[in-house]
Structures are given as structure tokens and as C-alpha cells.
Amino acid sequence: DAINDGSSWRVMTNNVELAFNMLQLTLLDPPPAIAANWERQFGLLENAVDDVSTAVSNDASMSQLKTRVSAAKKQTLVVYRMVR
């Protein structure tokens, strides 16, 4: 886990990969049954990922970075459960 290794560079490269994967997801149409909730939850996930990126770019403390990564992980689980 990059955050526990104390490597903001590794967190940033993981964040870039995640952003690419999210871009791919935006190209898909969600099933009608979850479309409205998907837009809202996916938007929250995009914001959480952006927060991680901003924290790394601003050279945030490891504690602040861990908080943002934790929030992004939680939102990832929300989105995952929607499509599972």
C-alpha cells in the first residue's frame, strides 16, 4: 500500500492510473435502474480522486494524504456495490 510506504510519488502514479480507469468508465452508459444514482455517486468518486491528486500536488502531510485516500476508498466501495 503506497500510503503506508510513505511514498507520495507512488500515490500519485496510482492516482493517474485510477483517473484513466475512471475515464474509461465515463464512456459506458449505466443501466437505467442505477443511472441517476450512478451519476451522483460517480461524481463524488471523481471529487475524492481529485482531492487525493490535489493533496499530492500541494505536498500535503502524510496524515492529510491518508485521510483523502481513505475517503476515496470509501467512495470507491459505494460505486462498486452499485454495479456488483
| pLDDT tens-place string over residues 25-67 | 889 899 999 999 999 999 999 999 999 889 888 888 888 988 9
Q: Pick the closest to residue 51 from 5, 10, 84, 19 (CA basis).
A: 19
Does the pTM surpass 0.85? The reply is no
For residue 79, the Cα-to-chain-centroid distance in whole angstroms is: 10
